[in-house]
Amino acid sequence: MRLILGIWLFYKKIFVPAMAVAVILTLLDLLLTRTLSLYITGFSFIMLAPVFHFILYEFSNPGQYYFYHNLGLNKISLWASTIVISFIIGIILFVI
Amino acid sequence: MNRLYVDSVMKAFDTKQVLTDVYLTCKPGEIVGLLGRNGSGKSTLLKIIFGSLKADQKYIKVDNTQVFKLYDSSKLITYLPQDNFLPGHVRIKTIISAYCNRENAGILNELNQLKPLLNQKARNLSSGEKRFVEILLIIHSDAKYILIDEPFNGVAPLYIDYIKQLIREQAVNKGFIITDHDYRNILDVASKIILLHDGGTREITDREELVRWGYVSGTVNG
């Protein structure tokens, strides 16, 4: 249970900025093409989440990894969670 | 045998050999004070024991289980690094529930020093407050062995004695390895002193030995 909470706390920080940028890109696409495409949102989100993971953790706050290490989450599992969760959310947006 | 067993640790950074042949043990109930000059490898050693830094060579056992990497020791060892590590976007009460079992979370939630901070996000705390919260979290975590790097750095003097008292209380069932440049606090709280010198460990039985090994100058007081 704590592992899930740890992954959620880790991912929450990535989710908001990645989704915000994905929505902005979708709105830009809407302005250009006059059609709303959640495919753009999903694809952007899948691409952006690992970028924000890198910026927010690897680049800006590498020390915060220790918070998650103490919960039993190493870097590999955190990167894997970012990619898997982003992919799932992206796929859901594709389907919609 | 119930103990944290660390042996044959070697680590070099480029051409500098930092740790050459480290040996130390820590049993539940023991507070091991790890002393050493700047750059002697104290933090490096703690990171290697924790598993977040790869050693050139190491042999680490927790009780009867050999530990190879971080994942192996996740419920056995926790580590307080030198720098703040709390995620700024999370509230302190959520952090407590992530780190501690229900009993210890209850204890922390009832602490007068923590009550005003519980609903705040970590980013809104001062460095000293963050450090205090981090120390309390690590001390009250479920792990059997606890590694603490510079716990007294940046903490208000008022809280230092309180932290030492908490460490002594929790050390009944847990083993602690603590390092800090404020060696007087380490000497005060530790039940065993280990000096890192020239990449190796030496157990210190007499405070005057610290002078002989060149860790402190003159007579050691207090």
CB-based contact, A56 to chain B, within 8 Å: no
Probe site for chain A from B46, B70, B91 (most A CB atoms < 10 A)? B70
The predicted complex's ipTM stands at: 0.88
- Indicate yes or no: CB of A70 within 8 angstroms of CB of B89: no
Chain B partners within 8 Å of A6 (Cβ):
98
User: For B49-86, how does the pLDDT look when each residue is reduced to its tens digit (9 = 90+)?
Assistant: 998 899 999 999 998 888 887 666 667 899 999 999 99
Residue with tokens 């953790």: A57
- What strand order describes the sheet that includes B57-62? B65-67, B57-62, B4-13, B16-26, B200-204, B192-197, B31-36, B175-179, B145-149, B77-80
User: For B140-191, how does the pLDDT look when each residue is reduced to its tens digit (9 = 90+)?
Assistant: 998 999 999 999 888 888 889 999 999 999 999 899 999 998 888 999 999 9
CB-based contact, B86 to chain A, within 8 Å: yes
- pTM value? 0.89
